[in-house]
Amino acid sequence: MRWLPALAAFGVVLALIAAIVLGAIYEPAVAIAIPVVAIGLALALQKYVASFFAYFVISFSRIYDLGDRIRIGNIKGDVRRVGYLYTILEEVGEDEKLGGELTGRLLHVPNLIILDQPVLNYSKDYSLNCETITSDYMFDEVRIPISLDSDVQQASGLLEGILKCQDADFVIEARRVFQDGYPRFLNEAINAPRVLVYVEPQRIWLKGKFVAPLRGRNELRSRILMQFFGEVNHRTDIKLA
């Protein structure tokens, strides 16, 4: 019965239009006010009409669906309901705020926002042999600062080994899901180096990439960091900055 509020709203609009038309028929003076009223209604209802038609854009183009984790502009959340006028999201915090976890708050987002804002769907859809594959696997990263006098090659090799060990099961599962139609990030995970090095005046940054399911990446990131810290704690050639 979720369509009842929208149907009631459009019923009210139709009733107003019918009343104006009947008034114009039986009282010609009312006809003078019709253009003014029509313009007023158009201006007042344009956002609701846009949201209503955006609902069909969302439904037929499958920009997102129930359960998807999306970002629209600076809004991020899990889709809990797609209504005729509003999409309800369960808010997800940013990395600096709750680390990408659910905040427990609901966001009511007008559907019309998709018409002029880019939509990022983390629950990606890939096409393989004319079939759509839905996968929650993605690349994430860890950033670790080490001192300038550390052995960068040893530190990079250590982190590379930890990354491949920790996400090995996820890479296998992602390959099974995608079969031979690997997206680019999965090809990089299999064939390319996982660790990049950046140098700053006071420190060296190791940036390590790993494959993780969308809703398990924070836990995996923590395991990777804890293992790295545990390893370097017993070494003198690698120092955290």
CATH number of the domain at 59, please.
2.30.30.60
Do 87 and 203 belong together in one domain? no
Do 170 and 99 belong together in one domain? no
φ/ψ region of 179 (left if φ > 0, alpha if ψ in -120 to 50, else beta) reads left
pLDDT score for 216? 78
Do 89 and 13 belong together in one domain? yes
Do 4 and 117 belong together in one domain? yes
pLDDT score for 160? 92
Task: Using the 3D structure, point to which of 66, 97, 122 is the last residue of a domain.
Answer: 122
Show the low-confidence residues of the chain (pLDDT under 70).
Answer: 1-45, 94-102, 123-135, 179-184
* Helix or strand holding residue 1 (H, E): none
Domain membership of residue 76 (yes or no) is yes
Assign residue 214 the CATH number of its domain.
3.30.70.100
pTM (2 d.p.)? 0.59
d(CA 133, CA 14): 43
Domain membership of residue 239 (yes or no) is no
pLDDT score for 156? 92
Task: Using the 3D structure, point to which of 66, 94, 122 is the last residue of a domain.
Answer: 122
Domain that holds residue 75: 1-122
pLDDT score for 191? 80
Do 38 and 95 belong together in one domain? yes
Do 89 and 203 belong together in one domain? no
Do 102 and 196 belong together in one domain? no
Query: What would the two tokens of residue 159 be?
Result: 């982190």
Do 170 and 80 belong together in one domain? no
pLDDT score for 77? 83
Domain membership of residue 240 (yes or no) is no
| Alpha helices in the chain, H assignment, sequence order | 4-26, 34-61, 152-166, 168-178, 184-191, 217-232
What tens digit of pLDDT does each residue of 186-237 get? 777 778 888 989 888 888 999 888 888 877 788 888 899 999 999 888 888 9
Do 60 and 102 belong together in one domain? yes
Number of domains in the chain: 2
Do 49 and 114 belong together in one domain? yes
